[in-house]
A = this chain, B = another copy of it.
Amino acid sequence: MRIGILGAGNVGGALGRVWTGKGHEVMFGVPEARSERTQKTIAALGKAGRAGTNAEAAAFGEILVLTVPWPAARQAIESSGNLAGKVLIDCTNPLAADLKGLTVGLSTSAGEQAAGWARGARVVKAFNTIGAGNLGRTVFAGLTADGFYCGDDGAAKAIAKSLIADAGLNPVDVGPLRNARWLEPLAMLWIDLALNQSWGFDHAFKLLRR
């Protein structure tokens, strides 16, 4: 599959690595002025990876993945061209600047706001509840972490599911896009444990069933 990824930071870079490792082709949407780190991230993918503008990444990708920091999300979406009908996987969390809370939630979510900006896109929320460093290292003491996802379009969710599995996670469909309202606070719990409770990054969630 050809995948456009908006952003080449922790999350975008990790997804690019695991997906090209599974045979997908990736184009990052990144600014013209590229940091050394961004250049390394792109180069590390070899022939399977390239970079362009956001609009070029969106045109390249059969699907588009939003991995920029939340404050940059709206501009990233709006500079990607017409996204009507496009599958857009939203990985963002609306983190407050102090990393102790969310700026959006309760009666809406980053996922729902992103869908409002990406007019006509088929948005799936995914990859937001696990640290980027765990993508591709998803087994914890013998147990595979879950990759929770939600969205309103069944075909888009099926694509997201296969890409979640390609990242080594166990896909768990948690319903409509509105349930991003609960996945984003779950991410905040992960982040708070990592950064504010000094747990580090080696934890992940799993939903047990009988």
Contact = CB atoms under 8 A, between A and B. Distances in A.
A44 interface: no
A105 interface: yes
Interface residues of A, number: 34
Interface string A96-129: 0000011011110000000000000000000000
B141 A210 contact: yes
Nearest to A185: B185
Contact of A105 (B106, B143, B196, B206): B106
A182 B188 contact: yes
Interface stretch (A31-39, A51-59, A197-205): A197-205
12 contacts: A101-B107, A141-B208, A141-B209, A143-B143, A174-B189, A174-B193, A175-B197, A182-B189, A182-B192, A185-B185, A203-B210, A205-B208
